[in-house]
Amino acid sequence: MYKHILLDLDDTILDFNASETFAFQKVAEDLGVTYSETLLDHYKIYNQSLWHKIEKNELTKAELMTQRFPGFFSQYGIHNLIGQEIDDLFRDYLATGAHVVPGAQQLLIDLKKAGKQVYAASNGIYTTQISRLEQANLIEYFDELFISEKLGYNKPHAGFFEQVFKQLEPASFDSSIMVGDSLSSDIKGANAVKLPVVWFNPNNISAPKDLTIDYQISDLTHLYDILDL
């Protein structure tokens, strides 16, 4: 039976897509840029490419925070932006977005009622993730928050999970499971240390053949049987 539950945050517990849309729209307005869904889509592709570099240890979070907005908006003729200032503004807006994935709060309540140990396992920016959990009134349900910025490793690096289990009791690994939506960080990372994993796949995309997926769900309520709730 799984007693120790590691939960990814973005798009597993917190609706990052909704929060990101709100924050980007506000930044565009502040810069005098006409917002459109096409502009947002282009930004998401650009931003995701930077996060994939972080997962591969080709870029640091500090570099991302200074580079992403000057790099993106330069494509639209906007230059001389101070990257850190714009990024701080974006993350301030992001932190106010208390958007929660449907069923996430009830899941957390039921996990605690069942006596499970619940941990956040996220690659996000530490202060931003803390603020979003507080805004959503979810932080109280977590026994510990494992954020890559504090651990020194990003998922999918095995070091992320090794640091997690150094801080937990050694025997906890055998009764632990990872739940997340990202194939490139959550699933691949869990595979790296042979940790059982649940792939949260609400869009029902095809499962890759090169990764081990112990369980696949399209709705968080499907976790109840897996976790004996």
Structure confidence at residue 171 (pLDDT) = 65
Annotated catalytic residue 88: no
Do 116 and 89 share a domain, yes or no?
A: no
Chain position carrying tokens 């109280």: 140
Annotated catalytic residue 174: no
Q: Which domain holds residue 172?
A: 4-15+99-226
Do 106 and 140 share a domain, yes or no?
A: yes
Q: What is the CATH number of the domain that holds 169?
A: 3.40.50.1000
In angstroms, the CA 154 to CA 159 distance is: 8
pTM of the predicted structure, to 2 decimals: 0.87
Judge whether 223 and 217 are in contact, CB under 8 Å.
Answer: yes
Domain boundary among 63, 95, 127: 95
Structure confidence at residue 177 (pLDDT) = 97
- Residues of the chain falling short of pLDDT 70: 170-171
Judge whether 211 and 37 are in contact, CB under 8 Å.
Answer: no
Residues 13, 18, 20, 22: is their CA dihedral positive or negative? negative
Structure confidence at residue 115 (pLDDT) = 96
Do 124 and 72 share a domain, yes or no?
A: no
Task: Give the active site residue among 10, 11, 15, 186.
Answer: 10
- 3 state SS for 4-62: EEEECCECCCECHHHHHHHHHHHHHHHCCCCCCHHHHHHHHHHHHHHHHHHHCCCCCHH
Domain boundary among 38, 65, 95: 95
Task: Give the active site residue among 8, 87, 181, 186.
Answer: 8
Structure confidence at residue 98 (pLDDT) = 76
Backbone dihedral angles phi then psi of residue 185, each to the nearest 5 degrees: -115, -55
